[in-house]
Amino acid sequence: MEIFEWLSIFVLLSGSVSLFWLLPIAFKQKSLTTGFFSASLMMLLGYHLSFLFSFEATGIWFNLFTTICALSGLFSLIRESKPVFARFPLYLVFIPFLIPLFFSLIMNDKVISDLLIATFQGGALFVYLIMSVAGQMKLGNRGKQILGCVILILAFTFHWFISLESYDETAIAEILISISILLISFGLKSQYSNSNDD
Protein backbone atom coordinates (compact mmCIF):
# COMPACT_ATOMS: atom_id res chain seq x y z
CA MET A 1 0.00 0.00 0.00
CA GLU A 2 1.36 3.44 -0.98
CA ILE A 3 1.81 6.26 1.52
CA PHE A 4 -1.06 8.23 -0.09
CA GLU A 5 -3.44 5.35 0.54
CA TRP A 6 -2.37 5.16 4.20
CA LEU A 7 -2.92 8.91 4.49
CA SER A 8 -6.42 8.53 3.04
CA ILE A 9 -7.17 5.77 5.55
CA PHE A 10 -5.92 8.06 8.35
CA VAL A 11 -8.26 10.85 7.18
CA LEU A 12 -11.12 8.34 6.87
CA LEU A 13 -10.59 7.17 10.46
CA SER A 14 -10.39 10.67 11.92
CA GLY A 15 -13.38 11.79 9.83
CA SER A 16 -15.42 8.81 11.02
CA VAL A 17 -14.65 9.62 14.66
CA SER A 18 -15.64 13.24 14.02
CA LEU A 19 -18.92 12.14 12.43
CA PHE A 20 -19.57 9.93 15.46
CA TRP A 21 -19.32 13.10 17.58
CA LEU A 22 -21.24 15.46 15.29
CA LEU A 23 -24.19 13.46 13.95
CA PRO A 24 -25.87 12.93 17.37
CA ILE A 25 -25.65 16.70 17.96
CA ALA A 26 -27.15 17.45 14.54
CA PHE A 27 -30.13 15.16 15.22
CA LYS A 28 -30.58 15.93 18.92
CA GLN A 29 -30.27 19.71 18.65
CA LYS A 30 -31.84 19.83 15.17
CA SER A 31 -28.88 22.05 14.30
CA LEU A 32 -28.63 22.92 10.62
CA THR A 33 -25.09 24.20 11.15
CA THR A 34 -23.86 20.90 12.60
CA GLY A 35 -25.81 19.04 9.92
CA PHE A 36 -23.99 20.93 7.16
CA PHE A 37 -20.60 20.42 8.82
CA SER A 38 -21.42 16.68 9.13
CA ALA A 39 -22.38 16.60 5.43
CA SER A 40 -19.09 18.34 4.61
CA LEU A 41 -17.25 15.61 6.54
CA MET A 42 -19.19 12.93 4.64
CA MET A 43 -18.15 14.53 1.34
CA LEU A 44 -14.52 14.58 2.54
CA LEU A 45 -14.77 10.88 3.38
CA GLY A 46 -16.31 10.28 -0.06
CA TYR A 47 -13.38 12.12 -1.65
CA HIS A 48 -10.87 9.86 0.11
CA LEU A 49 -12.88 6.72 -0.67
CA SER A 50 -12.95 7.72 -4.35
CA PHE A 51 -9.16 8.06 -4.21
CA LEU A 52 -8.72 4.68 -2.51
CA PHE A 53 -10.90 2.94 -5.09
CA SER A 54 -9.45 4.87 -8.05
CA PHE A 55 -12.58 6.84 -8.95
CA GLU A 56 -10.63 10.07 -9.55
CA ALA A 57 -13.34 11.46 -11.86
CA THR A 58 -15.71 11.81 -8.89
CA GLY A 59 -13.00 13.25 -6.63
CA ILE A 60 -13.36 16.81 -7.91
CA TRP A 61 -17.12 16.73 -7.20
CA PHE A 62 -16.61 15.37 -3.69
CA ASN A 63 -14.03 18.11 -3.13
CA LEU A 64 -16.45 20.76 -4.41
CA PHE A 65 -19.37 19.50 -2.30
CA THR A 66 -17.13 19.34 0.79
CA THR A 67 -16.58 23.07 0.30
CA ILE A 68 -20.24 23.79 -0.54
CA CYS A 69 -21.52 22.07 2.62
CA ALA A 70 -18.92 23.91 4.71
CA LEU A 71 -20.02 27.25 3.19
CA SER A 72 -23.68 26.48 3.90
CA GLY A 73 -22.71 25.50 7.45
CA LEU A 74 -21.01 28.88 7.84
CA PHE A 75 -24.05 30.73 6.46
CA SER A 76 -26.17 28.84 8.97
CA LEU A 77 -23.71 29.61 11.81
CA ILE A 78 -23.82 33.32 10.94
CA ARG A 79 -27.62 33.20 10.79
CA GLU A 80 -27.89 31.43 14.17
CA SER A 81 -25.50 33.91 15.80
CA LYS A 82 -27.90 36.81 15.15
CA PRO A 83 -30.99 37.67 17.21
CA VAL A 84 -34.16 36.08 15.79
CA PHE A 85 -35.52 39.40 14.48
CA ALA A 86 -32.26 40.15 12.58
CA ARG A 87 -31.80 36.77 10.88
CA PHE A 88 -31.78 36.55 7.10
CA PRO A 89 -34.25 34.11 5.47
CA LEU A 90 -33.39 30.42 5.86
CA TYR A 91 -33.33 29.73 2.12
CA LEU A 92 -30.23 31.96 1.74
CA VAL A 93 -28.26 29.32 3.68
CA PHE A 94 -28.61 27.06 0.62
CA ILE A 95 -27.16 29.56 -1.90
CA PRO A 96 -23.78 27.72 -2.12
CA PHE A 97 -25.64 24.79 -3.69
CA LEU A 98 -25.98 26.93 -6.84
CA ILE A 99 -22.19 26.70 -7.36
CA PRO A 100 -22.30 23.38 -9.32
CA LEU A 101 -24.51 25.04 -11.96
CA PHE A 102 -21.62 27.18 -13.19
CA PHE A 103 -18.74 25.02 -11.91
CA SER A 104 -19.57 22.37 -14.52
CA LEU A 105 -18.79 25.00 -17.19
CA ILE A 106 -15.22 25.53 -15.96
CA MET A 107 -14.28 22.19 -14.42
CA ASN A 108 -12.24 21.16 -17.49
CA ASP A 109 -9.98 24.19 -16.98
CA LYS A 110 -7.89 23.02 -14.03
CA VAL A 111 -6.34 26.41 -13.27
CA ILE A 112 -9.68 28.24 -13.02
CA SER A 113 -11.48 25.42 -11.17
CA ASP A 114 -8.61 25.12 -8.66
CA LEU A 115 -8.58 28.89 -8.18
CA LEU A 116 -12.33 28.92 -7.56
CA ILE A 117 -12.20 26.06 -5.03
CA ALA A 118 -9.17 27.60 -3.28
CA THR A 119 -10.97 30.96 -3.03
CA PHE A 120 -14.09 29.35 -1.51
CA GLN A 121 -12.02 27.24 0.90
CA GLY A 122 -9.82 30.14 2.00
CA GLY A 123 -12.81 32.42 2.50
CA ALA A 124 -14.66 29.76 4.50
CA LEU A 125 -11.63 29.15 6.75
CA PHE A 126 -11.10 32.82 7.57
CA VAL A 127 -14.80 33.42 8.22
CA TYR A 128 -14.91 30.37 10.53
CA LEU A 129 -11.81 31.61 12.35
CA ILE A 130 -13.39 35.06 12.84
CA MET A 131 -16.66 33.48 14.04
CA SER A 132 -14.78 31.21 16.47
CA VAL A 133 -12.69 34.07 17.88
CA ALA A 134 -15.83 36.21 18.27
CA GLY A 135 -17.57 33.28 20.01
CA GLN A 136 -14.57 32.82 22.32
CA MET A 137 -14.60 36.50 23.28
CA LYS A 138 -18.36 36.46 23.89
CA LEU A 139 -19.06 33.02 25.37
CA GLY A 140 -15.72 31.23 25.81
CA ASN A 141 -15.27 27.49 25.18
CA ARG A 142 -14.11 27.89 21.56
CA GLY A 143 -10.39 27.21 22.01
CA LYS A 144 -10.43 23.82 20.26
CA GLN A 145 -12.30 25.23 17.25
CA ILE A 146 -9.83 28.13 16.98
CA LEU A 147 -6.82 25.80 17.20
CA GLY A 148 -8.41 23.37 14.72
CA CYS A 149 -9.14 26.22 12.30
CA VAL A 150 -5.57 27.54 12.53
CA ILE A 151 -4.25 24.04 11.78
CA LEU A 152 -6.72 23.77 8.87
CA ILE A 153 -5.42 27.10 7.51
CA LEU A 154 -1.90 25.61 7.69
CA ALA A 155 -3.11 22.56 5.74
CA PHE A 156 -4.76 24.89 3.20
CA THR A 157 -1.48 26.83 2.87
CA PHE A 158 0.58 23.66 2.37
CA HIS A 159 -1.88 22.34 -0.21
CA TRP A 160 -2.26 25.47 -2.33
CA PHE A 161 0.78 27.72 -1.79
CA ILE A 162 3.87 25.89 -0.54
CA SER A 163 5.78 24.14 -3.27
CA LEU A 164 7.43 21.03 -1.88
CA GLU A 165 7.80 17.59 -3.35
CA SER A 166 4.28 16.31 -4.09
CA TYR A 167 4.69 13.57 -1.47
CA ASP A 168 5.73 15.99 1.29
CA GLU A 169 3.05 18.64 0.80
CA THR A 170 0.29 16.02 0.49
CA ALA A 171 1.45 14.14 3.58
CA ILE A 172 1.69 17.31 5.68
CA ALA A 173 -1.68 18.64 4.45
CA GLU A 174 -3.52 15.35 5.07
CA ILE A 175 -2.10 14.92 8.58
CA LEU A 176 -2.99 18.53 9.45
CA ILE A 177 -6.52 18.08 8.04
CA SER A 178 -7.03 14.97 10.18
CA ILE A 179 -5.88 16.72 13.35
CA SER A 180 -7.95 19.82 12.64
CA ILE A 181 -11.24 18.02 11.97
CA LEU A 182 -10.80 16.05 15.20
CA LEU A 183 -10.16 19.26 17.15
CA ILE A 184 -13.05 21.19 15.58
CA SER A 185 -15.50 18.30 15.98
CA PHE A 186 -14.48 17.66 19.58
CA GLY A 187 -14.74 21.39 20.25
CA LEU A 188 -18.29 21.48 18.83
CA LYS A 189 -19.18 18.41 20.87
CA SER A 190 -17.85 20.04 24.07
CA GLN A 191 -19.59 23.31 23.23
CA TYR A 192 -23.01 21.64 22.83
CA SER A 193 -22.44 19.49 25.91
CA ASN A 194 -21.68 22.58 28.00
CA SER A 195 -24.70 24.46 26.61
CA ASN A 196 -26.92 21.54 27.62
CA ASP A 197 -25.44 21.52 31.14
CA ASP A 198 -26.17 25.25 31.62
Mean pLDDT of 90-112: 90
What's the structural domain count of the chain? Answer: 1
pLDDT at residue 4, as a whole number:
73
pLDDT band at 37 (very low <50, low <70, confident <90, very high): very high
Mean pLDDT across the chain, nearest whole number?
Answer: 87
The Cα–Cα gap between 63 and 118 comes to: 11
pLDDT at residue 167, as a whole number:
63
The Cα–Cα gap between 15 and 77 comes to: 21
CB 175, CB 10: distance < 8 Å:
yes
In terms of C-beta density within 10 A (0-12 exposed, 13-18 middle, 19 or more buried), how is residue 43 classed? buried
Q: 30: left (phi > 0), else alpha (psi -120 to 50), else beta?
A: left
pLDDT band at 158 (very low <50, low <70, confident <90, very high): confident
pLDDT at residue 197, as a whole number:
57
29 closest CA partner among 40, 16, 38:
38
CB 187, CB 145: distance < 8 Å:
yes
Mean pLDDT of 142-149: 91
- Domain extent at residue 182: 3-197
pLDDT at residue 198, as a whole number:
54
Say if pTM beats, i.e. exceeds, 0.75: yes
pLDDT band at 176 (very low <50, low <70, confident <90, very high): very high
Residue by residue, DSSP assigns 71-92 as: HHHHHHHHHHHS-GGGPPPGGG
